[in-house]
Amino acid sequence: MAATLWRHARHLATALYCGAAAVPAVAAATAVHPILLHAARLIELNTGRVISPAEVLVEGERISAVGPSVPHPAGTEVLDLGDRTLMPGLIDAHVHLFLHPGEEDLQTVEESVPERTLRAALAAKADLMAGFTAERDMGTEGAGSADTAIRNAIDRGWIEGPRLRISGNAIDILGGHEDAVRFNPAEHILSNATYANSVEELIAVIRQQHKEGSDFVKIYETGRDEMRDGVLYSPYQYTAAQLKAAVDEAARLGTGVGVHAMGEPGTLYAAQAGVASIDHATQLSEETMRIMKEKHIPAVPTFAVLEYFAQHAATPEQAQRESALLEYKVREFKKQIASGISFAVGSDVGPFPHGTQARELELMVKYGLTPLAALQADLINGARLLGWAGQIGELKPGYYADIIATAGNPLDNIAALEQVSFVMKGGVIELRSEFEHGP
């Protein structure tokens, strides 16, 4: 009897662990009958074509039909969403569920890991209700592998939140970007990241984090950054060879490396190493962009957090510094668009309120992308970056039923993404504003 129970326990543990590598199944009860969503229009992301009127048939956790009119099987529940636009659930490729607005260094010191985990659960729900059905959490900022618990709780249906890719603690050098350099050394305040000062240490940390449930690796490659005479100064932390060793180890484990890299030469080293994404990517040389195009490495600009910092600075001097950095970033972004590199959408939400990060897409359009290009960066490139291409990010038969509805048409006004009135994840309705029920 004991041996039988042990075998069952091992099988369950193996299923839960292996499930982290695939699109997680939605543990909450999906509808036992088909659901048909009817709306004024639907955006076909790969072409930009608008289907009007539009219907999506959902059976279980997947989409079974899409078009102006689709079959209505017996027993189908029809939801008429009216003058709304149907779209795939949004993707945020750079979030921090374990952060909230306020002094980042202090919250990671003053708040316990259990408290921060509870806050992370609330943040995950806020993001989902804003229409973000998949996210990449870019480091717990000192909470270790607590994000494993958040991801698993969502997958098991214990709490509400997006599909998650998680990194655990980010990786940093001694005295690096997230080290506690401004505190009294005698207090021995811990870093908000995990130290790795050599290739051997990088590999050891990656293996430990993988053991604890990480889906990918997050590395700080630059910092601390500052503007000098109108130009970004961005010290690098790891050489290209060190980053390549991390990329190779991640590949051995079947995953990739996302890097925080603001500027040169760190962004160049990251591209040379073949990372999965260069996040922030404020300063990219011509050579860096050439390699990024060659290796299909997207930039993740994170405008929204910079705008928030500029608007909520503690002093006029700080506001001026943040505004100068944002203005510089906008100029460089226009060069990046012209170069033809690809983008994914990540807001860096956490330092600003969760659930408000649709602002990132608005800013990417404001600074040069078309609405369609921004949506394709978010949904098609985002799904690819998170390792879920062909499963999320588009409304197609066989894809997971991660669906949102917005007032208005985001192709006409990208700000419509701030008015999400319906959210479905894996066939489960998470948010449902008032609308009529059809026959």
Same domain assignment for residues 348 and 406: no
Q: Which of 385, 402, 421 is the last residue of a domain?
A: 385
CATH of the domain at 409: 2.30.40.10
**CATH number of the domain that residue 340 is part of:** 3.20.20.140
What is the domain count for the chain? 2
Is residue 135 one of the residues assigned to a domain? yes
Query: Which structural domain, as residue segments, surrounds residue 332?
Result: 91-385
254 lies in some domain:
yes
Q: Clarify whether residues 74 and 131 are in a common domain.
A: no
Query: Are 74 and 207 members of one domain?
Result: no
Looking at residue 21, its pLDDT comes to: 46
Look at residue 14 and tell me if it is in a domain: no
What is the C-alpha R_g of the chain?
A: 22
Q: Is the bond into 265 cis (omega within 30 degrees of 0)? A: yes
- The reply to whether 256 falls in a domain is yes
Helix (H) or strand (E) holding 431: strand 428-432
**Residues 282 and 171 both lie in one domain:** yes
The two tokens of residue 284 are 């990219």
Measured distance CA(168)–CA(141) in Å, rounded = 9
Q: In terms of domains, do 139 and 268 share one?
A: yes
Cα–Cα distance for residue pair 180/174, rounded to 1 Å: 10
User: What CA–CA distance (Å, rounded) separates 356 from 308?
Assistant: 11
Q: Do 306 and 417 fall into the same domain?
A: no
- For residue 436, list its beta bridge partners: 80
DSSP, collapsed to helix, strand or coil, labels residue 273 as helix
Instruction: Output b/e per residue, 5-32; b: 16+ Cβ within 10 A.
Output: eeeeeeeeeeeeeeebeebbebebebbe
* CA dihedral of 40, 46, 48, 49, whole degrees rounded to 10: -50
Report the alpha-carbon distance of residue 35 to residue 398 in Å, rounded.
15
Give whole-number Cα distances, 408 to 169, 372, 419, 436, in Å. 39, 15, 9, 18
Q: Same domain, yes or no, for 64 and 100?
A: no
Domain stop point among 385, 403, 426 = 385
- Same domain? For 105 and 213 the reply is yes
Same domain, 122 and 242: yes
Question: What's the pLDDT tens digit per position in 310-348?
Answer: 999 999 999 999 999 999 999 999 999 999 999 999 999
Domain-embedded: residue 18: no
The reported pLDDT for the residue numbered 72 is 94
User: Whole-angstrom Cα distance, residue 357 to residue 254?
Assistant: 29
What's the pTM value of the predicted model, to 2 decimals? 0.92
Residue 222 inside a domain? The answer is yes
In a domain, 16, yes or no: no
Residue ranges of the chain with pLDDT lower than 70? Answer: 1-31, 434-439
Q: What is the pLDDT of residue 15?
A: 37
Q: Quick one: 140 exposed, middle or buried, by C-beta within 10 A (0-12, 13-18, 19+)?
A: buried
- C-alpha 258/C-alpha 138 separation (Å) is 8
- By residue count, the chain amounts to 439
Which of 363, 385, 407 delimits the end of a domain? 385
Say what the pLDDT of residue 20 is: 41
- 368 and 316 co-located in one domain: yes
Same domain as 291, residue 401? no
Task: Indicate the SS3 state at residue 74.
Answer: coil
CB 301 within 8 A of CB 343: yes
The answer as to whether 199 is a domain residue is yes
84-88 and 41-44 beta bridge pairing: parallel
Do 107 and 140 lie in one domain? The reply is: yes
